[in-house]
C-alpha cells in the first residue's frame, strides 16, 4: 500500500508532451467527419445505452495511455473544455463537472448531523476532494481519506484538470493508492460519510454495484453514517437495472433514496445517485444544515438547499415503476 500525505502526492511526474497529430491518432472513440474534416469523440455503449451516442468535437488530443487498470484519454473539446475519458466513457469535462461533484458531495455532508470523518472510494480526478475542502474550511469535516487504485488518473488530473485536482495534496487529505475493496475489507476505521465515486459498472468496477460492496460500506460506517454512490443509470436509460440496484442497496440499508443531477456531458443529460443510511429516522431528502443565499453563492455553483430537495423529485412514470413491488407488477 502506498500512502501519500501532506504535500508528498504524485503531482508532477507527467512530463511535457510532444504534440499529438490527431490525423494519425488511433482510438475507438475518435473519428473524422469527412464532410467538415473535423474530428469527433463519440461515447457509445451497446449495453448501457443502446441505440444512442454522445458526441463532442475534438480540438486537440492532449494525452493517451493505458494504465494497468484502464484506457485513459484526455482531449480538449471545442465547447466543453478538457475532457477525461476512461475506457471510452466520459468521466468529467471542465464545463459541467461541478454539477456532479457538488451533488455527490454536499447531499450526504449536509444531511449528516456531524460529518467529521469522510471516506472517498475512487474519485481520482479529485473533484470530490475539492468540494469536501469547503467543509473542512467550515470546520464541519475534520479528516478526508481517499482510496484510488489508479494513481495515473490523479497525476493526469493535476496537469490537465487543475481546477478539479487543486487540493490533491491538502493537509487534511490522507491519499491511499490501493484497491477500494481491499481497503474496506481490511480497515478498522469507521466513517461518518462514505462517497463512492467509481467508474461505470463494467469490468473491475462492476463489483462496486453488488450486495457485498454495500455490506462493506455499512461495516465501515459509524452509527447514523451515510453512503452515496453514482448509480451509473438514470431514469431515461435502463430503468430496470436502476430498480434492481436500489433493491440490492435496500437489502443492506433500511433507508435508501435516489436523486439525480443535470449533466449535459453524460448520455441522456442526467446522472443518478443512490444515498443510503442505517438511520431510518433520517430524511435524506432535506438537508439538516443550510447556508444563507449569499454563502451558497460563495461556495457552490450547482448545489443549494432547494436543489438538494428537488433532486429527489421524480416524474410520475419513473416513480411509479421504481416503487412498484414485483408482486404487484
User: What domains can be seen in the chain, in order of their start residue?
Assistant: 22-91 (2.30.140.10), 96-323 (3.40.50.150)
Which residue, 205, 238, 260, is CA-closest to 45?
Answer: 238
Question: What residue spans of 62-176 are helical by DSSP H?
Answer: 97-111, 127-137, 151-160
Percent of the chain topping pLDDT 90: 79
Q: Which of 96, 150, 197, 200 is catalytic?
A: 197
Question: Could you tell me the pLDDT band of residue 206, with boundaries at 50, 70 and 90?
Answer: low
Sign of CA dihedral 317, 318, 324, 326: positive
Cα dist from 4 to 146, 151, 287, whole Å: 10, 11, 33
Grid coordinates belonging to 261: 443531477
Collapsed DSSP state (helix, strand, coil) of residue 92 = strand
Please say if 197 is a catalytic residue: yes
Give the contacts of 195 (CB within 8 A, at least 6 positions apart).
104, 105, 108, 118, 119, 120, 121, 123, 128, 227, 228, 229
Give the pLDDT confidence score for residue 51 in this predicted structure: 85
What is the distance between the alpha carbons of residues 278 and 289, in angstroms, rounded to a whole number? 19
pLDDT per residue over 159-173, tens digit each? 999 999 999 999 999
Cβ atoms 102, 131 nearer than 8 A: yes
The pLDDT tens digits for 72-114 are 999 999 999 999 999 999 999 999 999 999 999 999 999 999 9
The whole-chain average pLDDT of the chain stands at: 90
pLDDT over threshold 80, residue 6: no
Other beta carbons within 10 angstroms of residue 244's beta carbon come to 13
Please give the angle made by the CA atoms of 125, 126 and 128, to the nearest 5 degrees: 120
pTM score, two decimals? 0.91
Amino acid at each position: 500500500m502506498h500512502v501519500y500525505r501532506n504535500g508528498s502526492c504524485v503531482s508532477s511526474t507527467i512530463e511535457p508532451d510532444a504534440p499529438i497529430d490527431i490525423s494519425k491518432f488511433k482510438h475507438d472513440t475518435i473519428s473524422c467527419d469527412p464532410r467538415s474534416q473535423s474530428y469527433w469523440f463519440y461515447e457509445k455503449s451497446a449495453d448501457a445505452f443502446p441505440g444512442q451516442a454522445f458526441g463532442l468535437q475534438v480540438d486537440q488530443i492532449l494525452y493517451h495511455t493505458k494504465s494497468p487498470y484502464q484506457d485513459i484519454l484526455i482531449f480538449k473539446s471545442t465547447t466543453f473544455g478538457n475532457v477525461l475519458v476512461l475506457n471510452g466513457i466520459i468521466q468529467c469535462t471542465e464545463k459541467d463537472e461541478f454539477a456532479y461533484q457538488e451533488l455527490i458531495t454536499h447531499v450526504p455532508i449536509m444531511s449528516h448531523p456531524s460529518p467529521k470523518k469522510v471516506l472517498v472510494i475512487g474519485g481520482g480526478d479529485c473533484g470530490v476532494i475539492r468540494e469536501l475542502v469547503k467543509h473542512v474550511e467550515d470546520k464541519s469535516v475534520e479528516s478526508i481519506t481517499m482510496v484510488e487504485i489508479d494513481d495515473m488518473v490523479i497525476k493526469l488530473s493535476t496537469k490537465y484538470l487543475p481546477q478539479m485536482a487543486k487540493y490533491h495534496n491538502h493537509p487534511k487529505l490522507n491519499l491511499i493508492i490501493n484497491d477500494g475493496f481491499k481497503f474496506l475489507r481490511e480497515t478498522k476505521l469507521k466513517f461518518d460519510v462514505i462517497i463512492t465515486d467509481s467508474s461505470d459498472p463494467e469490468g473491475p468496477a462492476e463489483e462496486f454495484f453488488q450486495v457485498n460492496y454495500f455490506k462493506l460500506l455499512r461495516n465501515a460506517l459509524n452509527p447514523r453514517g451515510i453512503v452515496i454512490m453514482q448509480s451509473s443509470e438514470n431514469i431515461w436509460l435502463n430503468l430496470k437495472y436502476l430498480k434492481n440496484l436500489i433493491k440490492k442497496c435496500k437489502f443492506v440499508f433500511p433507508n435508501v433514496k435516489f436523486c439525480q443531477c443535470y449533466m449535459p456531458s453524460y448520455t441522456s443529460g442526467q446522472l443518478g445517485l443512490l444515498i443510503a443510511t442505517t438511520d431510518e429516522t433520517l430524511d435524506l431528502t432535506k438537508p439538516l444544515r443550510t447556508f444563507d443565499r449569499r454563502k451558497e453563492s460563495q461556495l457552490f455553483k450547482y448545489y443549494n438547499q432547494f436543489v438538494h430537495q428537488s433532486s429527489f423529485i421524480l416524474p410520475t412514470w419513473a416513480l411509479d415503476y421504481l416503487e412498484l413491488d414485483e408482486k404487484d407488477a
